[in-house]
Structure 1
């Protein structure tokens, strides 16, 4: 399978302009490491719960592993999967893969045989790095079993091995070859440039099968460079990384961002909010980018008499729309920490964001604006920009677009407008100043009796209640209306369950149109999320459809039929 090239996505004029603007450079991932290793070899770059690595050590281990990979027959264009927890070894492994010109295929550790097998086959993976047993699951055995089905997978490398190796696997430490820098460079060769295929990141699958997004180093690193501007990032920063480093958020903000600025990064492989606060205090973390869920959980347990979060400059919530009330609550709890909003996608890293220089109210009322020298438009079905204030598909054009969805040329082409904007499938509105508010997903629209209902405003209203921890609205099938609105709620610990009538009265009191008021309420202990913290609404839609089909066998805690007012509104 041949990958698309940078020239398939961008014109020569665009490529030249991106370089002139400093969005793209001639620097590779390893060149970034070398620059920092020359400047500050003894500075600790990466830490996790048990290990640390300096810039100098990072360079040495990248070169040692690069030689080992070349001796295993892995070279330019080969695809190498990395399914690891957020450990410092990821910094070494991904840089070594890039140094020899191979393509990184990161896989989140939560994925199992079905998802991993799909990714191995879709990306034509030749080698894989994985843990042995992690959190009770034997990852190495899974890869060994998959190799029997996927013959192209030749090499399995086990990191932090426990016990005996599975048959045919290689110990990570045994791949490191101790040579001088000159000898290593001579054996590895020149590698590839920053505009060649660098990584295939699979979307986290909130709605369907994940798609493999092919990026160059420049399209990824551009995001790190521009994010650094918006956050006034310096080498004094210490990034806190609860998001998996094997996905876009972690890869860009826990690796490329601090690396590009000569800063440091702390990885957290198992999220637990109280421990997260302890890590922030211990490592003096200053910055974090995560799904909203992580910050919600942290604030739920934060006690200023116990926890010290004074080192934090900002926490940016991404991956899911962030309720304005939540931004205000976060700022009130930790006054020295800015709470910012960001809307990003695997396809183009960051679409919109609020910066530290923005009026703080912008993170309450919006999900930010386009990054410098990038473009965002709200478009209709034909790809034409709609008037400001009207809802439409949020589309992006700029230097951070992936080259393609691998193996899906029709899907790739279909997502571009005639003017070259990439559709997101997310709905939003843009105000007169260019700030965007995400209002939902095209597939999240509830079509009730022919009326399109965007659920974002209802979710924000419910999220503002102090007794509500999490909320998600989805469509549920209805024989009469086609679809109705179903609400899933997670209550804060110790709070009484909200009833359907109480929810209805609250929303009507907030001025919500009766058609938008949910007609079924499911109180649950937790919402299904991806490893990056995004709510999996397709799981909720399937859940409510199954319950309705069961005909009362799985009755909700709170449900009702269409009210008279709602029936009249059809």
Structure 2
């Protein structure tokens, strides 16, 4: 086991507000060690903004704001939120906003007002947003009106009409009936009192654990631990006011907040927020802004960068840190980035529940290419436990990756039953990931070897099979469904569904099944991308559907199809 924190007492049950608190002796220890400072996240961010007032804080295609300009606008928005709506400190507000300046202002403004952001995404459907709003008791919804084809607006109208939420804020568009305009709140806030200081001993934000299921798994992040999470990441990467980071992924993920926005602002660095992850957009920003770090690049983006001919003509020498995460990067891709683009890859592993690991910049290629490194804090603790057991496995053996530390949650929000299985009695989070410890370059590092949980890792998005299967089973022609991962060279995995149909039922296609699931409110990125019809499912030795066998079957089918397409007999090259 790594880490130096003495074993605390058993994890307490959730308090009345649904939060599983850190044990008091653990809180005292973190504060004595100087890891927690007893201050709120907005207080820490505001202090940094005063220190770096004239430095560039945020760059988008539309704005280039200093820290003074960004935090002035955020403070006005937070004050306007309290003066111009029914929301109050302690309330929760959902987000359906993309990578635009208003998202940053709204997130920071909510923190300053004491309103707790629920970090949903504009890609989430009405069903998901509604479930999450009910689970955390959210009253507000912040919407980017010009995102996509206006789907977030439709979600907002429905949830407002149904009474699931009572406050809607519309950015970048005309407000609908019953909603308030983002810019109106900024104007109201300019004349309103500055919000009172926020109590640091409470939840600051809600992050989603990879996706949603019938019962959402929500990670409640607390002020002190979220501050430390961000500061520890910035320290691990050596960020300073000279750092410029480019971030192309959805900002409202935990990765966008805790790997990019917050650590950058606490360091006096500049954030270049890309409106999308299109390679041409990223290369344009590299040329114009000369970023020094890309703190999270999914393997799919690395592959697309290699495939883009223009990558060979753009000067990438400004990028000092190119950090890949989300899933394992194939070694051959790391080698091609080195050889073809001059990019030295580091890898990381992180989760909405807290724990971050990263490979050191000066680590050997064996360490950087084959592991995800070590935790970012000396107070982080790791155990490799036997699957479905409590025994710690010997060094080098594969087992479940279990973690505990000063920024890893003690329990999901309002989920006592799930927490009983997801956390050990002494507070270690059972991640569901398979891992192995290695001794390389004179230190202990870890590699992620797969997953125990039934989750499909499509790029940086995680699809919970159970949720999709539940909705597919509502289809009148389907008697049973099993969603499994199939390999994909770009995204890593895509979703394939095996179906058993009613007798004489028409065969659904990817398109028709997708239309049905969209009608059920499922997000588009969760739709199955291949449909296989079978008479029966293979079973394991305990009588359950063997998804391992189904994954092997679809992998074999895809390989055979690939070989056929590229065989001389087909005329393929």
TM-score calculated relative to the size of structure 2: 0.75
CA apart distance, 1:35: 2.1
CA distance in 2, matches of 1:220, 1:356: 24
Quickly say closer, same or farther: Cα 1:91–1:166, change in 2 above 3 A: same
Aligned-pair RMSD on alpha carbons? 3.4
CA distance in 1, matches of 2:249, 2:287: 18
CA apart distance, 1:257: 1.2
1:388 to 395, 409, 432: 395
CA apart distance, 1:379: 0.5
Quickly say closer, same or farther: Cα 1:208–1:368, change in 2 above 3 A: farther
Contact 1:9 1:403 in 2 (8 A): yes
CA apart distance, 1:425: 0.4
CA apart distance, 1:86: 1.1
In the other structure, the counterpart of 2:571 is none
Residue segments in structure 1 that go unaligned for 5+ positions in a row: 446-454, 457-471, 475-482, 493-523, 529-535, 561-570
CA distance in 2, matches of 1:276, 1:537: 22
In the other structure, the counterpart of 1:11 is 23
CA distance in 2, matches of 1:147, 1:307: 47
* 1:47-446 equivalence runs, <5 A: 47-71=59-83, 72-149=85-162, 151-161=163-173, 164-177=174-187, 184-185=193-194, 188-193=195-200, 195-205=201-211, 210-288=216-294, 289-301=296-308, 303=310, 305-335=312-342, 337-350=343-356, 352-372=357-377, 373-380=379-386, 381-432=388-439, 433-443=443-453
Contact 1:241 1:266 in 2 (8 A): yes
CA distance in 2, matches of 1:244, 1:171: 23
Contact 2:249 2:276 in 1 (8 A): no
Quickly say closer, same or farther: Cα 1:23–1:333, change in 2 above 3 A: farther
Matched residue SS, 1:157: strand
Contact 2:86 2:167 in 1 (8 A): no
CA apart distance, 1:184: 2.5
Contact 2:75 2:109 in 1 (8 A): yes
Contact 1:248 1:349 in 2 (8 A): no
Contact 2:346 2:360 in 1 (8 A): yes
CA distance in 2, matches of 1:52, 1:549: 58
CA apart distance, 1:334: 3.1
Deviation string 1:8-51 (CA, Å, 9 cap, x unpaired) is 43222211222233322234332233223322322220112222
CA distance in 1, matches of 2:331, 2:215: 31
Quickly say closer, same or farther: Cα 1:386–1:538, change in 2 above 3 A: farther
CA apart distance, 1:180: 7.3
CA apart distance, 1:296: 2.1
Quickly say closer, same or farther: Cα 1:537–1:88, change in 2 above 3 A: closer
Contact 1:113 1:146 in 2 (8 A): yes
Quickly say closer, same or farther: Cα 1:41–1:537, change in 2 above 3 A: closer
CA distance in 2, matches of 1:231, 1:104: 26
CA apart distance, 1:356: 1.5
Quickly say closer, same or farther: Cα 1:360–1:556, change in 2 above 3 A: closer
Quickly say closer, same or farther: Cα 1:176–1:117, change in 2 above 3 A: same
Contact 2:131 2:216 in 1 (8 A): no
CA distance in 1, matches of 2:41, 2:432: 31
CA apart distance, 1:105: 0.5
Contact 1:232 1:356 in 2 (8 A): no
Greater RCO (Cα-Cα under 8 Å, separation 6 or more): 2
Quickly say closer, same or farther: Cα 1:220–1:333, change in 2 above 3 A: farther
Quickly say closer, same or farther: Cα 1:487–1:126, change in 2 above 3 A: closer
Residue segments in structure 2 that go unaligned for 5+ positions in a row: 1-14, 458-462, 466-481, 492-509, 515-523, 538-553, 562-573
CA distance in 1, matches of 2:219, 2:486: 32
Quickly say closer, same or farther: Cα 1:141–1:231, change in 2 above 3 A: same
CA apart distance, 1:366: 1.0
Contact 2:297 2:323 in 1 (8 A): yes
CA apart distance, 1:444: 5.8
Residue correspondences, number: 472
Contact 2:95 2:122 in 1 (8 A): no
Matched residue SS, 2:375: coil
CA apart distance, 1:305: 4.5
Contact 1:369 1:436 in 2 (8 A): yes
Contact 1:158 1:169 in 2 (8 A): yes
CA apart distance, 1:274: 2.0
Quickly say closer, same or farther: Cα 1:285–1:178, change in 2 above 3 A: same
CA distance in 1, matches of 2:365, 2:418: 38
